[in-house]
């Protein structure tokens, strides 16, 4: 039983001259699996991501997330999906704590309860001393930590991440990556992690899906089996070949 | 809030220049500062005159509230519906071209009630500015933040309460500050259409009596109201928009 299932999904935008953003996409993700989706810029990763969240509808094919159509049954997935975006997307008029509690507020969780949960998540991410600060007074890394806390705070079944560490410096990105992986494992979430970094995909994923334009899975690698078979450099090389279109 | 010395100095210079002019010209052209001060004090302390000043203030706030509600609704609706925007935008532009005096004439012909005439004139002259400013604020809401909020699947009301309202609030504050100055000018014209009380009415009386001190004093009452109200809006702004970053270095 998969929690995410794409069957023959295609997406073509109105007035788009270059054709499909996603074409004949098939993929499925099992409960508790952390799947890294890697691909070059413009290969359709973000379109797949928006289809998965339910922000856009497929032109063809069927998407099921926890048994629901994420676009047509939009409200049915309330509280079951959380997203960490490429940029932090914090509400500038809310403190760090109020931002973390935002998803819970939209679920109408009582104020005391949601602030307690928010404080707990800020503590887990080492930001308890900054809970009353507004986003503009936090560093980029801290802001992204707040957005990760916001995503975990609603205790979703599925966690979706769209290149969340790509705007951070290498050290901050690496540190957040390992924290993120630890938190996903601790909380037993199903995760989809979109990235353009092969290194990041290998660090994060239980499985790596290699995307090629127009948005389809060109190859997939299970970890750590593929690492044992090919070695770190070999796997990286293989992924690069697939992304470059020279092999699968 | 620290009181700055510059506005006090420039105010004192203006008063000084006026006083000097009053020494060389007759009182119906440049009355002394003392005479103006006496009239101002009378307006602020004598019951019937206070009522006149308050009537104008109430008309300004009432008219602006109406224009804000109607213009705000139009602005938000334009933001939500491109079709509606296509129909209503040209009408708002058309309205902006109509002088306040034309609305005065139209309202005299259309309506019997003086208070409604004044309210209608303020409404029609201020509505487009509120509509445009709130429409712009709505359009400027970050697409990133909308997607973020939508990912939590909120209800429409929660979306308005937690994202749309805080996003357009700075625009609303600016609209009130800008329109307050405009309305204070329009209301005086509107009060000429048969009002028996208010700053416009009093100015008309002073003009007929060639009473410059009284005219200046009543003008100052209006200015005082605008300054105090602007101060209140600024206080609200500094509370509600306290999250906004400030830079130590000015542009």
**Which pLDDT score, from 0 to 100, does residue A43 have?**
86
Domain contains B46:
no
Q: Which of A38-47, B13-22, B105-114 has the lowest mean pLDDT?
A: A38-47
Mean pLDDT of A168-173: 80
* Distance of alpha carbon A130 from alpha carbon A90, whole angstroms: 14
CA distance A67 to A119: 32
Domain that residue B146 falls in: 57-238
Question: Residue A154: its chain B contacts at CB < 8 A?
Answer: 152
At a CB cut-off of 8 Å and minimum separation 6, what does B71 contact? B126, B127, B128, B129, B130, B131, B134
Partner B contacted by A94 (CB < 8 A): yes
Rg (CA), chain B: 22
ipTM for the assembly: 0.87
Distance of CA A106 to the CA centre of its chain: 20
Give the model's pLDDT for residue B251: 58
Amino acid A190: pLDDT: 92
Is the CB of residue B103 less than 8 Å from the CB of residue B163?
A: no
Taking CA–CA distances from B144, the nearest residue in chain A reads A89
Per-residue pLDDT tens for A182-219?
Answer: 888 888 889 999 988 888 888 888 899 998 888 889 99
Is the confidence at residue A46, as pLDDT, over 80? yes
This prediction has a pTM of 0.82
Strands A4-11, A60-65: pairing kind: antiparallel
Query: Mean pLDDT, to the nearest integer, of B111-126?
Result: 92
Q: What CA–CA distance (Å, rounded) separates A174 from A184? A: 15
Q: Does B244 map to a domain?
A: no
B26 found inside a domain: no
The answer, yes or no, to whether residue B28 has pLDDT greater than 70, is yes
Residues of chain A above pLDDT 90, percent: 52
3-state SS assignment for residue A72:
coil
Compute how many other C-beta atoms are within 10 angstroms of the C-beta atom of residue A22.
Answer: 28
The CATH number that applies at residue B62 is 1.10.3720.10
Q: What angle, rounded to 10 degrees, do the helices at B82-96 and B47-80 form?
A: 140
**pLDDT for position B247:** 67
- Sheet containing strand A190-195, edge to edge, reads A81-84, A158-162, A190-195, A34-39, A207-212, A216-222
Task: Confirm whether B186 is domain-assigned.
Answer: yes
Q: Give first-to-last CA distance, chain B, whole Å.
A: 22
Is B247 a member of any domain?
no
Dihedral Cα A202, A207, A211, A215, nearest 10 deg: -140
Query: CA B21, CA B18: separation in Å to the nearest integer?
Result: 5
Q: What are φ and ψ of residue B198, in 5° steps? A: 120, 170
Report the number of distinct structural domains present in chain B.
1
For every residue of A24-50, DSSP letters joined together read EEEEEE-TT-EEEEEE-TTSSHHHHHH
Higher pLDDT, A168 or B155: B155
pLDDT band at A223; cut points 50, 70, 90: confident
Output the six-digit token pair for A175: 């540190």
Q: What is the pLDDT of residues B52-105, one digit of tens each?
A: 888 999 999 999 999 999 999 999 999 999 999 999 999 999 999 999 889 989
Q: Do B140 and B131 contact (CB within 8 A), yes or no?
A: no
The secondary element (H helix, E strand) that includes residue A132 is none
**Can you read off the two tokens belonging to residue B219?**
């003008």
Those of residues 25-64 in A touching chain B at CB distance below 8 A are: 53, 55
Cα distance between residue B72 and residue B136, in whole Å:
11
State yes or no: pLDDT of A245 exceeds 60.
no
At A182, list the tokens.
């630890």
- Please judge whether B162 and A89 are an interchain contact, meaning their C-beta atoms are less than 8 angstroms apart: no
How high is the mean pLDDT of chain A? 89
Q: How many CB atoms lie within 10 A of CB A174?
A: 15
Name residue A193's beta-bridge partners. A36, A161
- Mutation pick from B143, B146, B153 vs chain A, by most beta carbons of A within 10 Å, is B153
CA distance B242 to chain A (A): 8
Other residues' Cβ atoms within 10 Å of the Cβ of residue A133 = 15
| Closest residue in A to B241 (Cα–Cα) | A93
Collapsing DSSP states into helix, strand and coil, what is residue A209?
A: strand
Q: How far is CA B29 from CA A62, B209, B211, B215, B217, in A?
A: 83, 12, 9, 11, 14
Task: Please report the pLDDT score of residue A248 as a whole number.
Answer: 39
- Which 3 state secondary structure label does DSSP give A18? coil
Q: Which residue of B has its CA nearest to A104?
A: B152
A91 to chain B: which residues are within 8 Å by CB?
A: 145, 162-163, 166
The tokens of B244 are what?
């906004």
**pLDDT attached to residue A17:** 60
Please return the burial class of A182, using the count of CB atoms within 10 Å of its CB with bins 0-12, 13-18 and 19+: exposed
Backbone angles phi, psi at A26, to 5 degrees: -120, 125
Q: Number of A:B CB contacts under 8 A?
A: 57
**In the prediction, which pLDDT does B17 show?**
95
Q: Is A154 on the interface with B (CB under 8 A)?
A: yes
Taking CB atoms and an 8 Å cutoff, what residues of chain B touch A77?
A: 153
For residue range A133-162, list pLDDT tens digits in order: 999 999 988 999 999 999 999 999 999 998
Helix axes B212-240, B165-190, angle to 10 degrees: 170
Tell whether the model's pLDDT for residue A96 goes beyond 60: yes
In a domain, B116, yes or no: yes
A100: left (phi over 0), alpha (psi -120 to 50) or beta: alpha
Using the predicted structure, report yes or no on whether residue A246 has a pLDDT greater than 50. no
- Kindly give, in sequence order, each residue whose CB lies less than 8 Å from that of residue A218, ignoring residues fewer than 6 positions away: A210, A211, A212, A242, A243, A248
Q: Say if B246 falls within a structural domain.
A: no
Q: For residue B28, give the 3-state DSSP assignment.
A: coil
Q: Is residue B194 part of a domain?
A: yes
């Amino acid at each position: 039983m998969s929690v995410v299932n794409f069957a023959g999904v295609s997406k073509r935008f109105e007035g788009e001259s270059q054709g499909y953003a996603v074409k004949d996409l098939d993929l499925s993700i099992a409960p508790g699996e952390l799947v890294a989706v890697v691909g070059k810029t413009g290969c359709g990763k973000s379109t797949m991501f928006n289809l998965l969240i339910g922000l856009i509808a497929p032109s063809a094919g069927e998407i099921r997330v926890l048994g629901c159509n994420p676009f047509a049954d939009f409200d049915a997935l309330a509280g079951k999906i959380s997203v960490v975006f490429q940029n932090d997307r914090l509400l500038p008029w809310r403190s760090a704590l109020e931002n973390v509690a935002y998803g819970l507020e939209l679920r109408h969780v009582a104020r005391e309860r949601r602030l307690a949960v928010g404080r707990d998540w800020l503590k887990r991410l080492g930001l308890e001393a900054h809970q009353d600060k507004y986003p503009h007074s936090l560093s980029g890394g801290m802001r992204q930590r707040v957005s990760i806390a916001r995503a975990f705070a609603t205790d979703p079944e599925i966690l979706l991440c769209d290149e969340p560490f790509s705007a951070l410096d290498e050290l901050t990105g690496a540190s957040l990556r390992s924290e993120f992986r630890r938190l996903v494992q601790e909380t037993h979430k199903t995760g989809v992690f979109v990235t353009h970094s092969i290194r990041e995909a290998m660090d994060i994923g239980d499985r790596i899906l290699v995307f090629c334009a127009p948005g389809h899975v060109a190859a997939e690698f299970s970890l750590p089996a593929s690492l044992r078979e090919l070695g770190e450099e070999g796997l990286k090389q293989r992924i690069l070949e697939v992304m470059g279109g020279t092999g699968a | 809030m620290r009181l700055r010395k510059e506005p006090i100095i420039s105010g004192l210079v203006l008063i000084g220049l006026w006083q000097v002019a009053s020494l060389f010209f007759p009182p119906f052209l440049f009355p002394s500062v003392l005479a103006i001060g006496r009239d101002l004090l009378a307006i602020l302390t004598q019951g019937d005159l206070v009522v006149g000043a308050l009537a104008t203030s109430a008309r300004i706030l009432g008219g602006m509230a109406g224009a804000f509600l109607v213009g705000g609704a139009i602005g938000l609706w334009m933001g939500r519906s491109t079709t509606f925007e296509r129909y209503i935008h040209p009408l708002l532009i058309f309205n902006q071209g109509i002088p306040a005096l034309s609305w005065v004439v139209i309202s005299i012909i259309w309506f019997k009630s003086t208070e409604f005439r004044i309210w209608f004139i303020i409404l029609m002259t201020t509505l487009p500015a509120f509509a445009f400013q709130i429409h712009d604020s709505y359009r400027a809401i970050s697409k990133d933040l909308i997607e973020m909020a939508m990912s939590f699947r909120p209800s429409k009301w929660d979306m308005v309460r937690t994202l749309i309202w805080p996003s357009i609030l700075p625009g609303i504050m600016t609209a009130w500050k800008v329109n307050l100055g405009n309305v204070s000018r329009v209301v005086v014209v509107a009060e000429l259409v048969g009002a028996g009380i208010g700053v416009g009415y009093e100015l008309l009386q002073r003009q007929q009596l060639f009473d410059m001190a009284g005219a200046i004093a009543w003008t100052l009452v209006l200015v005082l109201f605008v300054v105090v109200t602007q101060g209140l809006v600024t206080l609200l702004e500094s509370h509600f928009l306290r999250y906004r970053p400030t830079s130590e270095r000015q542009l």
